[in-house]
Structure 1
Amino acid sequence: MNEYDVDGVVRQLKSVGAGWLQISVGQNTGFFSAPNATFDELVPPTPEHPSRLSKRDLIKDLGPALHKEGIKLIVYLTDDAIARDDYARHKLGGDSQGMGEPKATYQANWLKVMKTWSQPWGTDVDGYWVDGPYYDHLEPFYDTIAAGLRSGNPKALLSFNAGFGTPQKSVTKESDFTPGETPVAGWPRPTDGRWVDNRGTQMQRQYLDVLQSDWGFPPHEPLSYSDDKIVDLTLGVPGLVALSPGTPGTTARTDTSLPQP
């Protein structure tokens, strides 16, 4: 993490005219690209399980550097338990979701962790893309997450991912733009307008497009389309497009303005 070249990434994004960077703070492994005192308190490091959190706050470093060049920052995080870290999952209170009863202990703990990130990040982060909100019966939990994330930046734009096969859906009305997670086979895109109805609220249409196989697996696969074809398909979208080469973690958006709630 200490080797991440913030200035170099900003230069690359500016050179291609990207409007925002979407980057993961962490996912299923329990490794995170920013420190979090609440997480370390709830999941105390041990000799057998040392802390998996970065000492460098990459998100805090990225925000101001991007903003100097007029580029926004969207942070990817998840609502669910650390699937590949049994120790952390146990300490946090178990799985957060599924078709059974909500796990109140986990949800309360994870909300504290999220606030410990979002509040000091403040306006350095322009929005959040939350992975894992797939279940209708957990909508109150997702609404609480939205309030927690906006406690750092009340104007933060949010998107809650309803799943790989439902790129234009959200289980909560708190989504300002569609999650858009779309497999390669999802091209081309519909052309029926910039806005998507979400049970009476409007989400701005956005696609998060995987350009290499299935999220980069296998990693040696080439991009699934030529550069010209990618440009052609992107320009056909009546909304916003974020492009990922396939490897999970980082995407750059092609539009130059954030969606409006």
Structure 2
Amino acid sequence: MTHYLAESEPVTGEMPTVEEWEARVDGYDVEAVADQIEATGADWMIFSVGQISGFWAAPNARYDELVPATAEHPSRLATRDLVADLGEALHDRGLRLIVYFVTDPPRNDPYADAQLSGGTPSGANGNDTFRDNWRTVFAEYAAQWGTSVDGWWIDGAWQPNEEDYYTSFVTTAQRHNADTVVTLNPGLGTLCSAVGTDYTAGEARPTDLPVFHDGRYVNCPGVAQTQVHYLSYAQGTWGSKPDAPMALTTAQFVNTTRAVTDYGGAVTWDVGFHREDGTLSDAAMAQFAALREGPRAGEQMDDADATDPRLRYSSGWSDDNPGECGAGDCLSAKHPRAKAQLTFTGTGFTWYGNTGPEFGPRAAVRVDGRLVDIVETWSDTPRTGVALSTVRGLRHGRHTVEIAALGNGYVTIDSVATYVARPSSGLTVVGTGLEVAVQSPTTGCGVPVVQVAPGTAANQTFHPLLTSEGHERLIAHHSGQSIVVQSASTQPGTPIIQCQYSLASPTNDEWLREDLGDGRFRLKNRHSGLYLTASSTEPGASMVQTTWSGSPLQIFTQS
């Protein structure tokens, strides 16, 4: 998705002039964007035609009747029908277009709001006059685009007692395209709207997408089987510029998406884009490439970037790189005997690096001492973040990959992504035979984590979601909350609780699974460096964090 709005970034409210908006819409390269969407492996794109600024990326005759242009207020509707053009380009590639629309007034354009609302701006909620007029504006677009649009994602459907108004959008869309799919957004974190729709709007923060669900459908009012769908932002916030930081690490992005699609759910990610031509950011495209080439069903990705301490280098490597890095930091060497090694537990890997006239000409890739690939690293033009070598189908276990230069040119490591099967399971304390559990099957923050008799209850089943550098979130199946250290303390003896994962302080909410052999492991908190520990041998004893002593109360197996 791209929040293609007149505001250069919605949270700042930077508005273009009418002339600037026209130029921006005219400059949108539908062919380049459609090529990018196809390259991501996605089946659809959500595109916002407008929101509350009064600027729209397509003409609408009915809107112009209701909001007549004046010298002081020229029309803010683009002359170009960008939605129709984008729909055609996507359809040429076998892809679908879903249009973002709203149910509420253009309240950041007081003139348009007043014209649509009977003479006085009606603000965020609108009035009856606005709603009657807005139905006709939507109907104009639905008729104008017909089958050029495959679906609608309609925002603002959270006002009480407005079911008839919201239902009118569904019936109007279906009247002009019997095969269209429609959803109405009831608000952040609320899955079902009060009106039956084809799929859930699913607006959520990027760390709140549920990584488990009982199948692809949810029972919502009016539709017994509504397709589960989530929408969140992968970069910065909604409608970010292309240089905004990514909201999740590549591993989190890939693993969250994979978890949802594994149970049959659907995910749409809003990403940053270039204002001059609409193309998606390089950083977003890199994460989509990792998703497309990454883990298979039931697997997760662990991303070791070039500076990850698990990567071991021979002499001669430095950050003096020829050209840019694909994602974050990268390290390069220019020596025929330069080598790098990574030991990992999993079933395969992908090495990402650069190619160019100064590289190679080749590099050797070995797994457990056996040559598996010779990679051409020379190219006539520089390329960054290239998937240079992928090895799949290894026996799940501990392996060492070695990357070695062959020649006097550069070899670069951007990252090495490894693939691991990490299913949901219980956690058994070796010293007691009891299992880790959230004390009660409630979903709120602050509930203690304890040890209980073995069982299959949802509050003693955890989904490990890999984040970066081998660390993982431990997500309770019943609540979707993460297992964290209370108050982000670094003190030994601090209790462990469940709470919402925080992007502001993620290290307190992440654990490193350190292999002890024979299926046993310990869990080290990323923030404190202390280890998950049962406080006693008794059932109901609290889980706390302590320094490592080798006690069996600090050792776990999957159950």
Which bracket does the TM-score occupy, shorter chain normalised? 0.7 to 0.9
The residue number in structure 2 matching 1:178 is 200
For residues 243 and 85 of structure 2, the distance between their equivalents in structure 1, rounded to whole angstroms, comes to 31
Mapping of 1:18-97 within 5 angstroms?
18-93=42-117, 94-95=121-122
Identity %: 40
Q: What's the offset of the Cα at 1:103?
A: 2.2
The residue number in structure 2 matching 1:138 is 162
For residues 203 and 279 of structure 2, the distance between their equivalents in structure 1, rounded to whole angstroms, comes to 13
- Tell me if structure 2 keeps the 8 A contact 1:95–1:103: yes
Query: Matched residue of 2:51: which SS?
Result: coil
Letter in 2 for 1:33: A
Q: What's the offset of the Cα at 1:250?
A: 10
Mapping of 1:1-261 within 5 angstroms?
1-93=25-117, 94-95=121-122, 98=125, 103-166=127-190, 168-173=191-196, 175-201=197-223, 202-215=225-238, 221-237=244-260, 238=263, 239-245=265-271
Unaligned runs of 5+ in 2: 1-24, 292-559
For residues 64 and 217 of structure 1, the distance between their equivalents in structure 2, rounded to whole angstroms, comes to 25
Q: What's the offset of the Cα at 1:188?
A: 4.7
Query: Matched residue of 2:161: which SS?
Result: helix
Query: Matched residue of 2:27: which SS?
Result: coil
For residues 189 and 85 of structure 1, the distance between their equivalents in structure 2, rounded to whole angstroms, comes to 40
Change in Cα spacing, 1:76 to 1:125, as seen in structure 2 (3 Å) is same
Deviations 1:146-184 (A, max 9, x none): 122222212210010001131x121211x1100011113
Letter in 1 for 2:53: T
Query: Matched residue of 1:2: which SS?
Result: helix
Letter in 2 for 1:190: F
Q: What's the offset of the Cα at 1:229?
A: 2.2
Q: What's the offset of the Cα at 1:17?
A: 1.1
Farther-moved stretch of structure 1 (144-153 vs 182-191): 182-191
More relative contact order, 1 or 2 (CA 8 Å, 6+ apart): 1
Letter in 2 for 1:162: P
Change in Cα spacing, 1:213 to 1:12, as seen in structure 2 (3 Å) is closer
For residues 205 and 177 of structure 2, the distance between their equivalents in structure 1, rounded to whole angstroms, comes to 31
- Tell me if structure 2 keeps the 8 A contact 1:38–1:113: yes
The residue number in structure 1 matching 2:442 is none
- Tell me if structure 2 keeps the 8 A contact 1:44–1:51: yes
Query: Matched residue of 2:213: which SS?
Result: coil
Change in Cα spacing, 1:217 to 1:55, as seen in structure 2 (3 Å) is closer
- Tell me if structure 2 keeps the 8 A contact 1:196–1:205: yes
- Tell me if structure 2 keeps the 8 A contact 1:184–1:212: no
Superposition CA RMSD, Å = 2.5
Deviations 1:171-222 (A, max 9, x none): 211x110001111331453322210111251210001122234436798651
For residues 32 and 231 of structure 2, the distance between their equivalents in structure 1, rounded to whole angstroms, comes to 23
The residue number in structure 2 matching 1:258 is none
- Tell me if structure 2 keeps the 8 A contact 1:97–1:138: no
For residues 151 and 225 of structure 1, the distance between their equivalents in structure 2, rounded to whole angstroms, comes to 40
Farther-moved stretch of structure 1 (198-207 vs 180-189): 180-189
For residues 109 and 90 of structure 2, the distance between their equivalents in structure 1, rounded to whole angstroms, comes to 32
Q: What's the offset of the Cα at 1:231?
A: 1.0
- Tell me if structure 1 keeps the 8 A contact 2:233–2:269: yes
For residues 107 and 57 of structure 1, the distance between their equivalents in structure 2, rounded to whole angstroms, comes to 24
For residues 45 and 196 of structure 1, the distance between their equivalents in structure 2, rounded to whole angstroms, comes to 45
Deviations 1:14-52 (A, max 9, x none): 111110010011001000000011101100001111000
Change in Cα spacing, 1:188 to 1:165, as seen in structure 2 (3 Å) is closer
For residues 39 and 5 of structure 1, the distance between their equivalents in structure 2, rounded to whole angstroms, comes to 25
- Tell me if structure 2 keeps the 8 A contact 1:78–1:130: yes
Higher helix share: 1
Query: Matched residue of 2:176: which SS?
Result: coil
Farther-moved stretch of structure 1 (223-232 vs 11-20): 223-232
